Amino acid sequence: MQFSQKTILELFDSSQKTFVVPVYQRAYSWETKEWGVFMNDIIEQIKGDNNYFYGNILLETINPGIEYEVIDGQQRLTTLTIFMRAIFFVINERIQKGEKITIKVKAKEKIYFKNSGNIKLRPVDYDRACYDTLIIAGKDSYVTNTPSQNRIKEAKSYFIKELQNEKTISIIKILDKIEKTKLTCIELQGKKDSALMFELQNNRGKDLTNMEKLKSFFMYQMYVYSIPNETESNITYISDIFKLIYQTINDLKKLNEDSVLVYHCNSFLGGGYNYSIGDIKRIFKDGKDKVEWIKSFVQELHTTFSNIKKFEKSNDSYALQLEKLGIPAYIYPFIIKGYKYFGDNKDKLSSLFHLLEIVVFRDNLINSRADIYSRLNNVLMNFTEDLNELRESFKNRFNDSWYWGDSNVQNYLNGWIGTRILRYLFWRYEDSIQSRGYKIGSCEIENEQIEHISPQTPTNGEPLTMGYEVDENNEYDEEFKSKYLNCLGNVMLISGSHNASIGNKPFVEKLNSYMSNPLLKQQAEIKQFISGNIKHPKWDKTAIVNRHKIIFDFAVKTWGFDNIHM
């Protein structure tokens, strides 16, 4: 282990030196808050004579004097090179406008970016093309596809904008101050020293994620508990597994790494839904074979991340329906367990997703303040390969709890339903009534709204018009308003423009507009329920009751636990 103090210029000023960010490290994570602190620190520094200190950089020596892996400090080094690119951009911009600036930008670029084909800083693999384009080559545009790539691009734009507000003399002072800035460079030999120092190191610009803390903890514990001649290989093993995990993390679109970690622990450690790093450490310390415990845990964790990636890419119809409903945190552990037990068995996975879709629908429909998490914890812990047993567990647990049981689901279907879940219900209903062989799929309607066939209120204070069930005062009676106006039989999907165009017009005009709709069959089928005839139709309680029964029966069957084919 070697300690040395260098200036920024000394750190980079070698034609052969390369700093590589290993893929098991997090990608670039600094954002506006950290960029602002960095910029303000620099501005403050040029106002005084004191030297600026940039903290400690931990490096693992791969090839002395040539290649180093960045164990800690990669956020600061990456930000530094982005900032340098912004400085050179602004200087070139001003030179092109005719300013006389003596700084030789090309020579500086060789120091900080690329010299004779040797690139000075290599971020994680999946961000290199973006970094090379925007920072090394200094190009203006790059189509980003990961959050870290977005941050690299946005950081460059941020610093350019800030520096454009500075006078040229200030920019020259900033460059000089940066190059004279000192840092302590700690060079480590091998994974053993790296694991030890990373766990003890506290000098970081942004809080580590729980995944990073766990990786650091596990690598350090391998240092503590491994047989001496196996220490290096055990730490390397953990490093390699996390490398695979971080490659997968970069492909996840909907979940962050810490959420997946929690769901993984919910699935396999048991006992709750809010695991912390402290909980994992406690369980680890209670175990017997510490080395094998860690290896098993990270192997399973890698499998979980890979399976979450599979789920995000799944085109199973029930998986897609879950996405539309919005997947609550308590559902992901069931998904993780499902992939563990069923592998790539599409039929069993689809049945699991179908079952979970029913659970989430009921939860969203009831929207109770009761704690569904704790009520389902035992169901999760007892879930193995038996889907029939899982279905019965859900069914019994929900009916025992009443909140999400069959009778309360029917109560809610007969009453007022929230707009979001009502829209979901009617899209599923629409799919069920479309012609054989045709599915509505992912179609959308413009400014989607819920239409009340018997309108809720008259337009502009005018009385209700012809075709609705009103009293002698042209108003709804109290029974109609409480039992019929907002029930399933009186509402349906409609576009915003369509809704605005019909308002509270006579029912015959509404009916004609429904029947002319080319997409939604639920509008065209209204004519099947009307009282009277097609020339003089009426939308009354009888029509609403008949339509309500059809949709109610559909919903009870669709979101009933006995409707799943295992």
Q: Is 463 helix (H, G, I), strand (E, B) or coil?
A: coil
Residue 563 within a domain = no
Helices vs strands, H then E, count in the chain: 25, 12
Do residue 244 and residue 316 come from a single domain? Answer: yes
Cite the beta strand spans of 423-490 per DSSP E: 449-452
Containing structural domain, residue 265: 221-400
Do residue 168 and residue 32 come from a single domain? Answer: yes
Do residue 393 and residue 535 come from a single domain? Answer: no
In percent, how much of the chain has pLDDT > 90? 55
Do residue 371 and residue 450 come from a single domain? Answer: no
Cβ neighbourhood burial of 186 (10 Å; 0-12, 13-18, 19+) = buried
Q: Give the number of C-alpha atoms closer than 13 A to the C-alpha of residue 225, restricted to the C-beta side.
A: 17
Residue 370 scores a pLDDT above 90: no
pLDDT for residue 204: 44
Do residue 188 and residue 245 come from a single domain? Answer: no
Asked if 242 and 25 count as a contact pair (C-beta separation under 8 A), the reply is no
Do residue 394 and residue 495 come from a single domain? Answer: no
**Assign residue 112 a region: left if phi > 0, alpha if psi is -120 to 50, beta otherwise?**
alpha
Confidence of residue 49 (pLDDT cuts 50, 70, 90): low
Q: 317 is written with which tokens?
A: 């119809």
Do residue 229 and residue 161 come from a single domain? Answer: no
Average pLDDT over residues 355-372: 90
Of the candidates 484, 507, 513, 347, which has an alpha carbon nearest to the alpha carbon of residue 414? 484
Do residue 505 and residue 536 come from a single domain? Answer: yes
Do residue 231 and residue 168 come from a single domain? Answer: no
Do residue 67 and residue 122 come from a single domain? Answer: yes
Asked if 434 and 521 count as a contact pair (C-beta separation under 8 A), the reply is yes
Residue 209 within a domain = no
pLDDT for residue 324: 94
Per-residue b or e along 29-54, where b marks 16 or more CB atoms closer than 10 Å to that residue's CB:
bbeeebbeebbeebeebbeeeeebeb
Judged by average pLDDT, the poorest of 68-82, 268-282, 357-371, 542-556 is 268-282
Last residue in a domain, options 370, 400, 430: 400
pLDDT for residue 439: 58
Last residue in a domain, options 147, 176, 192: 192
Return all residues near 177 (Cβ < 8 A) that are at least 6 apart. Answer: 42, 45, 46, 52
**Phi, psi (degrees; rounded to nearest 5) at 7:** -85, 165
Residue 506 within a domain = yes
Residue 208 within a domain = no
Average pLDDT, the chain: 88
Of the candidates 210, 199, 170, which has an alpha carbon nearest to the alpha carbon of residue 43? 170
Confidence of residue 517 (pLDDT cuts 50, 70, 90): confident
Q: Is 478 helix (H, G, I), strand (E, B) or coil?
A: helix
Return all residues near 133 (Cβ < 8 A) that are at least 6 apart. Answer: 139, 142
